[in-house]
Structure 1
Amino acid sequence: MHDDRFIHDPAQALDPLGEVERLNDEGIKKNRAKVGSARPSSLLYTYGPGSIMDLPNFTVMPAGLDDWERIWARRDGVPEIKAPRLREVVRMMLGTTDVQLRPHPWQPKRSNRSAEGDDLGVPSRIFPQWMRCTGCDMLGGLAQFEYTNTHPFRPDLAIFEHVGCPGRRGEKRQKQTSGKKSRRPAVPARYLLVCEQGHLDEFPYDHWVHHWQACPEAERPVLKMTDRTAGKGASATIQCAACQARRPMNEAQNDRRKLPGCRGRHPHLDAFEDNECGLETRLMLVGASNLWFPATQSIIVMPETKDEQATSRADDVRTALGEDLADAATWPKSALRRLLGSQGIDLSGDSDDELDALLVAAAQPVVTVERQAERLRDWDPVDLLVPEWIYLQKDPLGPGHRDEASGLVLSWRDRDAHLPKKITRVLAVEKLRKVNALVGFTRVDDMDRAGDLPSRLVPLTRKRPKWTVATEDRGEGIFLQLDEAAVADWEGHVLKSRLWAAHRDANRRNFWRRFSETAKSVEPDSRLKPPRYWLVHTLAHVIIREAAMTCGYGAASLSERLYAWPAAEGRPPSAGLLICTTASDSDGTLGGLVQLSQPERLAELVNGALYRAERCSSDPICANRTPRDNEDFLHGAACHCCAMASETSCERANRFLDRRFLLDLPCGEGLGFFDHVS
Structure 2
Amino acid sequence: MTDRRLRRMQALSPFGVGAIVDMLGESFVAEDVTRWKGRRVTLAAPRIAAHFGVEELRLPPAPRDGRLPYYRFPQWLFCGTCRSMTHWSVGRERPGMMPRCQHCSRSPQLVPMRFVAVCGNGHLDDVPWAQWAHSGGGRGREQRQCGRAELQFDHLTTVGGGLESLRVRCRTCRADRNLADLTSPRALGRINIGCRGRQPWQRDTEAVTCDQTPVVLQRGASSVYFPDTASAIDLPPDSDWVTWGGTAARVEQNQYFLLLHKDPESDIRGHLIRMIAEQENVKEQQVIAILNDRLGVTGADAGSGTSEELAEREWHALTNPRVRSHPDDRFITRRTPFPGPQGHGRLDPVVDQMRSAISDIVLVDRLREVRVLRGFRRHTMDARIPADLGTRSASLPAVEVYGEGIFIVFDEDNLRRWELQTPVVRNAATLHKRFAGSMHARWIESTPTPRLILLHTIAHLLMRQLTFDAGYPSSSLRERIYASPPDADTPMAGVLIYTAAGDAEGTLGGLARSGQAERLVTTIAATLAAARWCSLDPVCRESKAQGPAGLSMAACHACALVPETSCTMGNVLLDRTLVIDDEYGFMRDPLAELIAVQAATT
Q: What's the TM-score once normalised by structure 1's chain length?
A: 0.75
The reply to whether residue 258 of structure 1 matches residue 206 of structure 2 is: no
Report if aligned partners of 2:410, 2:493 keep a CA contact under 8 Å in 1: yes
Counterpart code for 1:202: D
Deviation at 1:434, TM superposition (A): 0.4
Change (3 A) 1:328 1:673: farther
The reply to whether residue 415 of structure 1 matches residue 338 of structure 2 is: yes
2:118 to 194, 198, 205: 194
Counterpart code for 2:509: G
Deviation at 1:163, TM superposition (A): 3.2
The reply to whether residue 546 of structure 1 matches residue 513 of structure 2 is: no
Bigger Cα displacement from structure 2, 469-478 vs 44-53: 44-53
- Structure 2: distance between partners of 1:146 and 1:286: 23
Deviation at 1:477, TM superposition (A): 0.8
Report if aligned partners of 1:216, 1:243 keep a CA contact under 8 Å in 2: no
Report if aligned partners of 2:78, 2:153 keep a CA contact under 8 Å in 1: yes
* Structure 1 spans left out of the alignment, 5+ residues: 1-15, 17-32, 73-77, 92-97, 108-116, 151-157, 166-180, 342-346
Report if aligned partners of 1:442, 1:458 keep a CA contact under 8 Å in 2: no
1:433 to 361, 368, 372: 368
Change (3 A) 1:353 1:427: closer
Q: Please name the residue that 1:207 is paired with.
A: 131
* Structure 2 spans left out of the alignment, 5+ residues: 596-602
Q: Please name the residue that 1:242 is paired with.
A: 172
Counterpart code for 1:673: M
Change (3 A) 1:159 1:82: same
The reply to whether residue 161 of structure 1 matches residue 100 of structure 2 is: yes
Report if aligned partners of 1:402, 1:408 keep a CA contact under 8 Å in 2: no
The reply to whether residue 85 of structure 1 matches residue 47 of structure 2 is: yes
- Structure 2: distance between partners of 1:475 and 1:364: 29
Change (3 A) 1:231 1:592: farther
Deviation at 1:321, TM superposition (A): 4.9
Change (3 A) 1:414 1:149: same
- Structure 2: distance between partners of 1:489 and 1:365: 39
Could you say what the CA RMSD is over the residues aligned between the two structures, in angstroms?
Answer: 3.6
Deviation at 1:264, TM superposition (A): 0.8
Pairing of 1:426-575 with structure 2 (within 5 A): 426-445=361-380, 456-458=384-386, 460-493=388-421, 496-497=422-423, 500-512=425-437, 514=439, 528-566=447-485, 568-569=487-488, 571-575=489-493
Q: Please name the residue that 2:269 is paired with.
A: 329
Deviation at 1:231, TM superposition (A): 9.1
1:640 to 544, 548, 557: 557
Deviation track 1:501-533 (CA, whole Å, cap 9, x = no partner) reads 2542354245436479xx7xx9x9x96411111
Deviation at 1:542, TM superposition (A): 1.0
The reply to whether residue 589 of structure 1 matches residue 507 of structure 2 is: yes
Q: Please name the residue that 2:529 is paired with.
A: 611
Change (3 A) 1:85 1:358: closer
Deviation at 1:42, TM superposition (A): 2.7
Change (3 A) 1:231 1:466: farther
Q: What's the TM-score once normalised by structure 2's chain length?
A: 0.83
Pairing of 1:6-85 with structure 2 (within 5 A): 34-35=3-4, 37-68=5-36, 70-72=37-39, 78-85=40-47
Report if aligned partners of 1:302, 1:408 keep a CA contact under 8 Å in 2: yes
Counterpart code for 1:534: I
- Structure 2: distance between partners of 1:232 and 1:424: 59
Pairing of 1:141-156 with structure 2 (within 5 A): 141-142=87-88
What secondary structure does 1:549 align onto? helix
Deviation at 1:266, TM superposition (A): 2.0
The reply to whether residue 101 of structure 1 matches residue 80 of structure 2 is: no
Counterpart code for 1:54: D
- Structure 1: distance between partners of 2:297 and 2:43: 24
The reply to whether residue 381 of structure 1 matches residue 307 of structure 2 is: yes
- Structure 2: distance between partners of 1:200 and 1:403: 48
- Structure 1: distance between partners of 2:513 and 2:203: 50
Pairing of 1:654-673 with structure 2 (within 5 A): 654-665=571-582, 669-673=583-587
What secondary structure does 2:510 align onto? coil
Report if aligned partners of 1:636, 1:657 keep a CA contact under 8 Å in 2: yes
- Structure 2: distance between partners of 1:599 and 1:513: 41
Q: Please name the residue that 1:351 is paired with.
A: 283
Q: Please name the residue that 1:578 is paired with.
A: 496
Deviation at 1:198, TM superposition (A): 0.9
The reply to whether residue 620 of structure 1 matches residue 538 of structure 2 is: yes
- Structure 2: distance between partners of 1:144 and 1:323: 39
- Structure 2: distance between partners of 1:360 and 1:409: 26
- Structure 2: distance between partners of 1:580 and 1:34: 35
Report if aligned partners of 2:196, 2:207 keep a CA contact under 8 Å in 1: no
What secondary structure does 1:267 align onto? coil
Deviation track 1:423-479 (CA, whole Å, cap 9, x = no partner) reads 221122111110011222111245xxx5xxxx5344522211222211000011111
What secondary structure does 1:607 align onto? helix
Bigger Cα displacement from structure 2, 650-659 vs 505-514: 505-514
Change (3 A) 1:88 1:217: closer
Change (3 A) 1:320 1:457: farther
Change (3 A) 1:143 1:136: farther
Change (3 A) 1:337 1:288: farther
The reply to whether residue 135 of structure 1 matches residue 84 of structure 2 is: no
Change (3 A) 1:54 1:641: same
Report if aligned partners of 2:260, 2:272 keep a CA contact under 8 Å in 1: no
Q: Please name the residue that 1:650 is paired with.
A: 567
Deviation track 1:351-392 (CA, whole Å, cap 9, x = no partner) reads 124435655777799755xx78xx86xx64222211111111
What secondary structure does 2:334 align onto? strand
Pairing of 1:168-317 with structure 2 (within 5 A): 181-211=105-135, 214-215=142-143, 218-227=146-155, 232=162, 236-256=166-186, 257-258=189-190, 260-271=193-204, 275-304=208-237
Indicate the percent of aligned positions where both proteins have the same amino acid. 27
- Structure 1: distance between partners of 2:34 and 2:91: 28
- Structure 1: distance between partners of 2:163 and 2:461: 37
What secondary structure does 1:605 align onto? helix
Report if aligned partners of 1:58, 1:187 keep a CA contact under 8 Å in 2: yes
Counterpart code for 2:34: D
Counterpart code for 2:466: A
Counterpart code for 1:412: R
Report if aligned partners of 1:145, 1:161 keep a CA contact under 8 Å in 2: no
